[in-house]
Amino acid sequence: MKTVLKTFAAALLIGVAAMGGVAKAEQVKIGIAAEPYPPFTSPDASGKWVGWEIDFVNAVCAEEKLDCVITPVAWDGIIPALTTKKIDAIVSSMSITDERKKTIDFSDKYYNTPTAIIGPKDQKFGATPDDLKGKVIGVQVSTVHAVYAKKHFTGAQEIKEYQTQDEANNDLAAGRIDAVQADSIALGEFLKTDQGKACCDLKGMVAPDDEVLGPGVGVGVRKEDTALKEKFNAGIKAIRANGKYDEISKKYFDFDIYGGATQSN
């Protein structure tokens, strides 16, 4: 009987040790803006978030064995949500800027696309400060576009800020504003819609300003989370090297989204 008990106890200890040896994936709450931002993030008919950025972060998390949970947050509160630990990382087309680096840190760049101006089809103008003099320009609040427009388009009648990009686009389509500045890819998606086709066209790309627009888009993390930052850097590097990044990108784009000059939010 004692032998049986000893055997059972030994087996139990081995089982517990084995369970303890199974590495449980680290859960990471991935903050995204709680609004459609195609082709990067948007909810499908079932409410599931899909898009290039969702595929991208899922690939990085799989590579680094992270249990990533998509967590929608209001855009203008997404940095406070990170610093107060409601989320663990921001993967929401957030541009890497020195101003944001005062509060949070970033991974390496994972994409970089130009910044554009769109406006009504029946009006001919470009994307320079002179072209936009006297016009009402729509931008999304708390973005690099809002900062850029206020810095460069000082001759505008008004820089009007919106909570979401959709609201700015809708006001442009309705004729309530004269132009919109945003990421060229996001605006390109709007111009493909029936509403966009009917009202508007591309006016041009804004002049570079690396101080405001930054060198690209990165994963936002808390300053103290250096280990998590390095995991994202390693994951980005790995999927760039193994072809997964290009495989995902080809589903959405016919150009290299990793390159480019100035960009996003």
Please state the separation of Cα 176 from the chain's center in Å.
Answer: 27
29-80 pLDDT tens trace: 999 999 999 999 999 999 999 999 999 999 999 999 999 999 999 999 999 9
**CATH, range 115-212:** 3.40.190.10
In the chain, where the domains are located: 26-112+215-250, 115-212
Annotate 28-56 with DSSP letters as a single string: EEEEEESS-BTTTBEE-TTS-EESHHHHH
* CA 47/CA 96 separation, integer angstroms: 29
Q: Is the pLDDT of residue 4 over 60?
A: no
Q: Is the pLDDT of residue 115 over 60?
A: yes
Quick one: pLDDT at residue 6? 44
Quick one: pLDDT at residue 103? 98
- Listed in order, strand segments (DSSP E) in the chain are 26-33, 42-43, 49-50, 66-73, 89-90, 105-111, 115-120, 136-140, 158-162, 179-183, 200-205, 217-221
Average the pLDDT over 84-90 and give the result.
Answer: 98
pTM for this entry:
0.81
Quick one: pLDDT at residue 42? 96
Q: Is the pLDDT of residue 101 over 90?
A: yes
Q: Is the pLDDT of residue 22 over 80?
A: no
Average the pLDDT over 218-222 and give the result.
Answer: 98
Tokens of residue 21, six digits: 């040896």
Average pLDDT, the chain: 91
Quick one: pLDDT at residue 24? 63
**CATH, range 26-112+215-250:** 3.40.190.10
* CA 203/CA 179 separation, integer angstroms: 9
- Backbone CA torsion sign across 245, 261, 252, 81: positive
Quick one: pLDDT at residue 150? 98
Evaluate whether 26-112+215-250 and 115-212 have a shared fold.
yes
Average the pLDDT over 158-170 and give the result.
Answer: 97
Nearest to 232, CA basis, from 246, 243, 250, 217: 217
Quick one: pLDDT at residue 265? 56
Quick one: pLDDT at residue 23? 52
Predicted confidence band at 13 (pLDDT cuts at 50, 70, 90)?
very low
